[in-house]
Amino acid sequence: MTRDNWGWKARIGMFIVASEPVPEAEWWAMMPSGVSVHAARVTAPTPWARWLDSGQAVELEDDIERGARQFAKMQLSAVVMGHSSSSIVGGKGWDDAVVSRLSAVVAPGTIVTTNGLDCQAALQACGVKQPFLVFPAWFGDATLDKGIAYFTEHGFSPSGHMRFDPGRNWRDVPPNQLYPQGMPFEQDIEALYRQIRTSCPAEADGVLIVGTGFRCVGILQDLEQDLRRPVISANQASLWHCLQQSGVKAQVSGYGNLFAI
């Protein structure tokens, strides 16, 4: 019988940016047999759930509400808000508020998580306390600062950070114009590999590559071998965490040591 990618062990629903090609490609590359991913595409502004005036709860954007109601009919094991920027911009408490709100919409018993929670869980599982944070080129200064603050507020002590330099063809394009001008389809992971290997400080006990649209899973294992410390990416962390929480014990090789935990 030919493999048909049917999710008989687990089916995972993922919210992703509407025009984003990377998350599904990376998930399918890493996906163990018997697990499937199903995407709902989102055009809403960041973050994908708005804080209410009370500051204690969030209201889902229309795209998320609609997608969640569709997911509720799909017998999913887990649903993930696959958007690093929403967790970062939402700030402390946003992830938990989203999990609470989404859990009321999807089917009872469905695991709900966010990329922020997934990255935190992956760092903790690997024993990383002083991560070197790697951000995509399209993160502006304000988002980059919020990213550093996000992980600091959640108990980590970043040892340093870098924003990927996309090269001279893109260097004069403002960060907020890189996406509209097509950079997600022209990402150079060899250059990313070299920049991380060169820039990672000695005091870092691990590396976290932030951004579900940031193409990078193809270099995780090579970086771990060269740097001799854990290297975690946003999509890798979310897939690993969803598998863990769904009770799927599957072997995933070639994409970092996180999957061996």
Give dist(CA 112, CA 81) in Å, integer. Answer: 8
Give dist(CA 153, CA 145) in Å, integer. Answer: 12
Say what percent of the chain tops pLDDT 90: 94
Whether 91 has a pLDDT exceeding 90, the answer reads: yes
Cβ neighbours of residue 228 closer than 8 Å, sequence gap 6 or more: none
Give dist(CA 73, CA 194) in Å, integer. Answer: 44
In the block, tokens 């595409």 appear at: 41
pLDDT score recorded for residue 251:
87
CATH number, span 119-233: 3.40.50.1860
Phi-psi region of 95 (alpha: psi -120 to 50; beta: other; left: phi over 0): alpha
Of 37, 36, 38, 42, residue with least CA distance to 16: 42
Nearest-Å Rg of the Cα atoms of the chain is 17
pLDDT score recorded for residue 237:
98
157 and 203 Cβ atoms separated by less than 8 Å = no
115 and 241 Cβ atoms separated by less than 8 Å = no
Q: Letter for the amino acid at 70?
A: Q
CATH class of the domain whose range is 10-114+236-251: alpha beta
Give dist(CA 190, CA 208) in Å, integer. Answer: 17
Containing 105, the helix (H) or strand (E) segment is none
pLDDT score recorded for residue 171:
86
* Topology alike, domains 10-114+236-251 and 119-233: yes
Q: What is the pLDDT of residues 152-169, one digit of tens each?
A: 999 999 999 999 999 999
**Alpha-carbon torsion (59, 113, 11, 30), positive or negative:** positive
95 and 116 Cβ atoms separated by less than 8 Å = yes
Per-residue tokens: 192:
């990313």
Give the pLDDT band of residue 65 (cuts 50, 70, 90): very high
Give the pLDDT band of residue 76 (cuts 50, 70, 90): very high
Give the pLDDT band of residue 8 (cuts 50, 70, 90): very high
Q: What is the pLDDT of residues 16-58, one digit of tens each?
A: 999 999 999 999 999 999 999 999 999 999 999 999 987 889 9
Q: Letter for the amino acid at 242?
A: C
Tell me the domain boundaries of the chain.
10-114+236-251, 119-233
